[in-house]
Structure 1
Amino acid sequence: MKVVILAGGFGTRISEESQYKPKPMIELGEQPILWHIMKYYSSYGYDEFIILAGYKQYVIKEYFADYFLHNSDITFDLATNKMTVHNNNSEKWKVTIVDTGLHTMTGGRVKRVQEYIGNEPFMLTYGDGVCDVDLDALKKYHEEHGKIATITMASIAQQKGVLDVSKGVIKSFREKDDMDGALINGGFMVLNPEIFDYLEGDKTILEKEPMRKLAAEGQLMGFRHDGFWQCMDTQREKQKLEELWESGQAPWKRW
């Protein structure tokens, strides 16, 4: 099963760093948060990724093009114009990076890579959040209920889509308001290929009309996660994640 990661937004709420790089490339412990997300999926055996890039997409491409330089010791022999890579820290990943447009919305970005995903279920998440959700249990839950979409529900007050849930079936999907402290859309989704029928073009926002329509049709299921979940929208949230990583107790580190 392929893992699709949304990584094309402007990251305006953390503009102190996103003015120089895409938000998924902001570092935690000297590695981009995108790397942390990919390592987490890989720890469950998911090693094929499709990165939906946009804003400063070349930064993501250059990172993977020079992955050995970023993660291994290198000897440059200038006399012979040769380079030797030591203690090769490679991954068994296959990474496809697609420029899905500068102003394309989330649903539009997913629609643009339909040909890369193919006619099969796939994982989808945001490139700015980590958690310790059980991906094996998530996949099993999705396969057993047979609906089009499953999203991970995190119980935390955040500025995300708010869910009304009954026995796992999401009855409604809406944007949060100031009084909300309910279950929210935490990403880490599993989608069947029928999702593409709900995505009309570049202006489609996945979290609005497509999700609302799926909910109205009884095709949107929620997988409850009561463990750790944290996005990185602000410098304060980045600092929190940095502190967890530096402490050696990062809940998402299972490699």
Structure 2
Amino acid sequence: MNNLKDFLIYENVSIKKALEVIDNGSMRIAIVVDNSNRLLGIINDGDIRRALLKGYSLNMSIIDIYQRNPSVCKITDTKEHIIKTAIKNKVYQIPIINESNIVVYIEDLATLLSGRIRKNKVVIMAGGLGTRLKPLTDDIPKPLLKVGSKPILETIIENFANYGFKEIVISVNYKANMIKEYFKDGSDFGVKISYLEEDKRLGTAGALSLIKEEIKEPFFVMNGDLLTNINFEHLLNFHLSGNSIATMCVREYEYQIPYGVIQIEKDEIRAIEEKPINKFFVNAGIYLLSNKVLNYIPKDTFYDMPTLFQKLINEELRILSFPIHEYWLDIGRIVDYERANDEYSNVFKE
């Protein structure tokens, strides 16, 4: 929400000011925040009316009348979870917060239920050889492998479409005709699909140099072998609110060292840590890019996404990380494919 600031107020403002914000905005609430935009609470027309009935004047502060424990959702919550939360708590608008309790968006129940069409394109990288999934990929490209009752790529497209992102671009190479024959122009799936055809392997970023039409809005890039139920709309809002040229989704990864780790200083043992667990954030294969990023991608050259992000870092441009806490699985090996089929029905609708 580009005009989020229009709904934010501080707890020392007057009731009159809060009422002006509520009346002038498209939402039915005002969000009470501190100086860092961390959520303190909300106030609506009903709160103000009840205060006036109790003898409060319009010039008094809202500090004693706003709701300090409102219904909220996190930026990582799914669309379905937000709808259920709103209905359960009988509210029409819900503040969306990040891990630092900072308000990044306001979700509107009516909009969620009616759905909306977004202009942002979705580029799905589906040209890989799927070597680690052989022999399953000897006769079929990895994105067409069925998980549950449908191909992996179909689930990805459906998830984006559910959030209103229906402009799909699929980058193809290995057994491209099979993918094009299955999805065609996308009309059977409620989306519009076009294709980027790699004559040679260009990598996850290099394939973007094949885009011919002008892109004006930030666009998604996602690997075609991932299953996740993240809220793509919240990813977009996070990217926009952070004024970022590029946002990378990241996933926390844990690795336990199977031995006791010895800390040594000048030959002396100072400490022993038994089988410590190291935690890292790893690239989750989902990105949100400004159209300006295309200027940093060389033509007709293999160029992968980590290289692109390193280039942006070297240029000291603003890039963000979006942590994924929802379901996420990279189907790169046979064991991952088997796990995906075991878990699919518990996460996605058949």
**8 Å CA contact 1:2, 1:117 repeated in 2:** no
1:204 to 294, 302, 325: 302
1:104 to 189, 199, 202: 202
1:235 to 327, 334, 350: 334
- In structure 2, give the amino acid aligned to 1:146: N
**TM-aligned CA deviation for residue 243 of structure 1:** 0.7
Deviation per CA, 1:180-206: give whole Å up to 9, x if none: 751111122110011111110233323
- In structure 1, give the amino acid aligned to 2:322: F
**TM-aligned CA deviation for residue 143 of structure 1:** 0.4
The answer on 1:122 being equivalent to 2:241 is no
**TM-aligned CA deviation for residue 146 of structure 1:** 1.2
SS in 2 for 1:119: coil
1:53 to 160, 164, 172: 172
- In structure 2, give the amino acid aligned to 1:229: W
SS in 1 for 2:133: helix
Q: How does 1:206-221 map to 2 (within 5 A)?
A: 206-216=304-314, 217-221=316-320
Deviation per CA, 1:28-86: give whole Å up to 9, x if none: 12311000111111111111100000111001011124989xxxxxxxxxxxxxxxxxx
Greater Cα shift, 200-209 or 120-129: 200-209
Instruction: Describe the shift of the 1:139–1:67 C-alpha distance in structure 2 as closer, same or farther (beyond 3 A).
Output: closer
Instruction: Describe the shift of the 1:203–1:7 C-alpha distance in structure 2 as closer, same or farther (beyond 3 A).
Output: same
Identity among equivalent positions (%) equals 25
| Higher Rg | 2
The answer on 1:186 being equivalent to 2:284 is yes
d(CA) in 1 for partners of 2:325, 2:132: 26
d(CA) in 2 for partners of 1:157, 1:50: 33
Match in the other structure for 1:78 = none
- In structure 2, give the amino acid aligned to 1:232: I
**TM-aligned CA deviation for residue 156 of structure 1:** 2.6
- In structure 2, give the amino acid aligned to 1:145: G
Deviation per CA, 1:80-100: give whole Å up to 9, x if none: xxxxxxxxxx43210112212
Q: How does 1:1-255 map to 2 (within 5 A)?
A: 1-65=120-184, 90-113=188-211, 115-116=212-213, 118-156=215-253, 181-216=279-314, 217-245=316-344, 248-250=345-347, 253=348
Match in the other structure for 2:80 = none
Structure 2's unaligned 5+ residue stretches are 1-119, 256-276
d(CA) in 2 for partners of 1:119, 1:137: 19
**TM-aligned CA deviation for residue 117 of structure 1:** 5.5
SS in 2 for 1:2: strand
**8 Å CA contact 2:196, 2:207 repeated in 1:** no
**8 Å CA contact 1:120, 1:192 repeated in 2:** yes
Number of positions where the alignment pairs a residue of Structure 1 with one of Structure 2 = 209
d(CA) in 1 for partners of 2:214, 2:320: 21
Structure 1's unaligned 5+ residue stretches are 69-89, 159-178
- In structure 2, give the amino acid aligned to 1:49: I
**TM-aligned CA deviation for residue 107 of structure 1:** 1.7
> What's the RMSD between the two structures over aligned residues?
2.3
d(CA) in 2 for partners of 1:197, 1:150: 16
Deviation per CA, 1:93-142: give whole Å up to 9, x if none: 101122122322222211112x2462321111000001122212211110
d(CA) in 2 for partners of 1:51, 1:63: 12
Instruction: Describe the shift of the 1:47–1:104 C-alpha distance in structure 2 as closer, same or farther (beyond 3 A).
Output: same
Instruction: Describe the shift of the 1:2–1:59 C-alpha distance in structure 2 as closer, same or farther (beyond 3 A).
Output: same
Instruction: Describe the shift of the 1:220–1:66 C-alpha distance in structure 2 as closer, same or farther (beyond 3 A).
Output: closer
